[in-house]
Structure formats: structure tokens, C-alpha cells
């Protein structure tokens, strides 16, 4: 993203990975200094307190997640054909690698597609007053969705379903879970508290 004050790139990729000591402290608070004009910048947040991204971010991140998880699933399902031996340790290593790839890829995409604005301390304080109840409900839902997928996956394996039905069911489950999560994020649970 470009600096809203001067229109230049506020930081390079290497500068964002290896900031100096003072810039690191500022980055930890969610603030950045434009290397061209010196303006203090921050990530723009929406009315619910979440970071605002260009719409391309969501499309590219979704494709990245689906691609990585599909490839990981295909390798784990066909592990006997790919490797001379298979073990749960290899499966866990593949899942860890996939999670790491999604995290690093998502982080790099976030830095590229986040919307920046000039830092305003009063506005920042108001946006940080989000409902704690909303975050607790959302985290509980996320944990329930993860364990729900585990139970459904075990049930599908016990029923000896076709891999195509399993993949289709997984995609439907992920779509339903994502839609409910987006509805929760847009609900009143995440609106900033009125003073």
C-alpha cells in the first residue's frame, strides 16, 4: 500500500521484516513511519475494530488456503503411494508445514493489501473498545467448528464414504462455518461499546 500523505511506498519488504529498534517498538503498537515523508501511519480499521484490506486480499487468501489444504489432504490420503513408509508423524509434519505456509503467505499478503491511514490517537482509542463478549463467543465458535470437523471427519471415515463425497462434504462444511463466522463478525457482538 502507498502512504496516504505522499503516495510513496511507506516501507520495503525487507524493512518490514527487519525494522530498527525504535521502529520495532512503534510497529508493536501498530504504527509505522513512512520512509519517504516521515508521517506516522497505522492500519485502517473498520467500525468493528478489524483491519481493513483491499478486496483482492480476501480472494487471494481464500485461494491460497484452499490450494494448500487441498494439496496437503491429497498428499496425506495418498501417503502410501508417495512415501515408502507412512506414519502419523509425517502427517503431522505436513499439517504443520501447511499451517506455516498459510500463516506466512497470509502475513505477506496482509502487508501488501492492508489499507493505511495517518495515525490519530483519539480515533485509535475509540476503536480498541470492542466487546469482550463478542471475542469470547467468536473464539468459542472457532473451537467448536474445529472439533466439529474432527468428529465429522471420524464419522465419514467410519462410514467408508467415497473420497469425492468426503471432499465435497468438507467444502460444504467449510462454507457453512465461514458464512456463520462472517455473520457473527457483522453482528452487534463486535460493534464498539457506546460511551
Q: Which residue, among 17, 21, 109, has the nearest Cα to 58 in the 3D structure?
A: 109
pTM above 0.75, yes or no: no
Domain boundaries, the chain: 1-52+114-129, 57-113, 131-189
Q: Per residue in 72-118, pLDDT tens?
A: 888 888 877 777 776 777 888 888 999 899 888 888 888 778 888 88
pLDDT digits (tens, 9 = 90+) for 33-79: 777 787 888 888 776 667 788 888 889 989 999 999 898 888 888 87
Interior angle at CA 67, CA 62 and CA 71, nearest 5: 150
How far apart are the C-alpha atoms of 53 and 5, rounded to whole Å? 18
Looking only at the bridges linking them, the beta strands covering 31-33 and 116-118 are unpaired
Residue 38: closest CA among 2, 5, 1, 12 = 5
Amino acid at each position: 500500500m502507498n502512504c496516504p500523505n505522499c503516495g510513496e511506498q511507506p516501507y520495503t519488504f525487507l524493512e518490514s521484516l527487519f525494522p530498527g529498534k525504535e521502529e520495532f517498538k512503534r510497529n508493536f503498537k501498530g504504527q509505522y513511519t513512512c520512509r519517504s515523508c516521515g508521517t506516522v501511519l497505522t492500519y485502517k480499521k473498520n467500525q468493528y475494530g478489524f483491519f481493513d484490506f483491499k478486496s483482492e486480499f480476501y480472494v487471494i487468501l481464500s485461494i491460497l488456503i484452499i490450494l494448500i489444504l487441498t494439496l496437503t489432504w491429497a498428499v496425506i490420503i495418498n501417503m502410501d503411494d508417495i512415501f515408502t513408509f507412512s506414519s502419523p508423524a509425517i502427517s503431522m509434519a505436513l499439517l504443520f508445514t501447511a499451517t506455516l505456509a498459510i500463516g506466512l503467505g497470509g502475513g505477506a499478503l496482509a502487508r501488501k493489501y492492508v489499507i493505511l491511514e495517518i495515525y490519530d490517537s483519539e480515533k485509535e482509542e475509540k476503536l480498541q473498545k470492542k466487546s469482550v463478549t463478542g471475542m469470547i463467543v467468536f473464539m468459542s465458535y472457532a473451537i467448536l467448528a474445529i472439533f466439529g470437523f474432527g468428529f465429522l471427519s471420524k464419522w465419514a471415515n467410519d462410514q467408508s464414504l467415497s473420497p469425492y463425497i468426503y471432499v465435497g462434504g468438507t467444502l460444504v462444511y467449510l462454507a457453512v462455518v465461514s458464512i456463520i463466522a462472517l455473520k457473527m463478525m457483522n453482528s452487534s457482538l463486535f460493534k464498539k461499546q457506546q460511551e
